Amino acid sequence: MQPGNSDLCFEWQGPIQGAIKHLKKHGIVVERGPMQRFGAKGPGTSVYFRDPDGSLMEFMSYGSVIAAEPR
C-alpha cells in the first residue's frame, strides 16, 4: 500500500463540533464539512481531514445531525 491512498472513518463520540475543535487544537485543517453523511449506524455528521501521509480521514458523529454544508 502506498502512503496517502487510504480512506478511513472513525466514529466521534459526541457532537461533531468537538471533533473540529480537537483537529484545530492539533493544527489539522478540516478539508470538508461538517456535512451530513450516511454511515454504518445511519445518518450522521462528518468532517474530513488528512493524516501526515496524505490519507483521507473522517470523523463521523451520530449524536446530532446538522444541515449539510452548501455546495
At 66, the pLDDT band (50, 70, 90 cuts) reads: low
From the number of C-beta atoms within 10 Å of its C-beta (0-12, 13-18, 19+), residue 10 rates as exposed
Residues forming beta bridges with residue 59, ordered by sequence position: 10, 47
pLDDT of residue 71: 43
pTM: 0.81
- pLDDT tens-digit series, residues 9-62: 999 999 999 999 999 999 999 999 999 999 999 999 999 999 988 899 999 999
At 64, the pLDDT band (50, 70, 90 cuts) reads: low
The CA distance from 71 to 54, in Å, is 23
